[in-house]
Structure 1
């Protein structure tokens, strides 16, 4: 196999925000030529497949400015520096939905958009739920819904569920249902 790695020649910081930063790296390509890579740096995130005792998944409905529309997603959030992913998942589930879980399972971790970002997302399943306290950020507005697996699959088909983490989570859930 040939070497496909790109060597970084220089990095220029373009923007540093609350959630992301943007940099442009000049790289040497495997063939010796150079090119620029625009890279979004992200501290990482978690997402939670929270299943009720009635076998429904808890989703949040919220407006997403980059899409200019309201979509349905599983609860998720950004990790704080050095924060354990499961601790973050527990915090985000309660903050966004008011639920706590007694049982936690790590499903998978993956890069969300490796073509331009380094965000690494940890996906958990939460079961044995009990009601806690909703504690949304001051700039966060969500509505909760609970859907069955068929309702979720229909929402994916309609485009109401259209983000990668939620689609992946529902497909994991569907796969578990078929294995049971």
Structure 2
């Protein structure tokens, strides 16, 4: 069932991702074209504070020209380990540090054309501190109860996949 690349053309090399066009041989002997986005990967952190409130960040997302409520997250730097990235992003975006970060799941958001894998962690043993945002990052930290978070999902206010999955994981963990 494997597709073998027989031609490869680099279309774009950027700071965050690269784009390639591949001509592939198919299992049935035919060929097809695949347009692929190669991304270094990302991390995200489910943060539930001492008051049992989820910590979300609200920021403007240019890709869809709107504000978005999300769990803290960011891209992996080249050569960076996911756990180190999760610790860095947690502190940068929320000011929190965690005694431990436990990996809860990984996912590919658009596996038909994009290699980006997102590793999602849950933070334990929080200590509040000061946010340290990147110079081009503007966001606001907000906290919601579990019921409020579920209502935000149901109303369509939260549309970010990693956040939806993290809240659903939180919901399942409450059933245990």
Please tell me the TM-score bracket, short chain as reference: over 0.9
Aligned to 1:150: 147
Runs of at least 5 residues in structure 2 that lack an aligned partner in the other structure? none
2:39 maps to 1:42: yes
Q: 1:130 aligns with which of 118, 127, 132?
A: 127
Distance in structure 2 (CA, Å) of the matches to 1:53 and 1:127: 10
Of the structure 1 ranges 70-79 and 80-89, higher mean CA displacement relative to structure 2 is found in: 80-89
2:62 maps to 1:65: yes
Aligned to 1:96: 93
Aligned to 2:110: 113
2:147 maps to 1:166: no
Please state whether the residue corresponding to 2:35 is helix, strand or coil: strand
Q: Give the superposition deviation at 1:60.
A: 0.4
Distance in structure 2 (CA, Å) of the matches to 1:172 and 1:52: 16
Distance in structure 2 (CA, Å) of the matches to 1:76 and 1:104: 13
Q: Give the superposition deviation at 1:70.
A: 0.6
- Cα deviations by residue, 1:70-118 (Å, 9 ceiling, x for unpaired): 1100000111122121111000000111111113211011212101100
Q: Give the superposition deviation at 1:54.
A: 0.7
Distance in structure 1 (CA, Å) of the matches to 2:18 and 2:128: 35
Please state whether the residue corresponding to 1:110 is helix, strand or coil: strand
Distance in structure 2 (CA, Å) of the matches to 1:116 and 1:163: 18
Number of matched pairs: 176
RMSD between superposed Cα atoms in Å: 1.0
- Cα deviations by residue, 1:109-132 (Å, 9 ceiling, x for unpaired): 121210110001111000221122
Aligned to 1:55: 52
TM-score, normalised to structure 2's length?
0.96
TM-score, normalised to structure 1's length?
0.94
- Cα deviations by residue, 1:127-153 (Å, 9 ceiling, x for unpaired): 221122211111111011011111111
Distance in structure 2 (CA, Å) of the matches to 1:76 and 1:60: 9
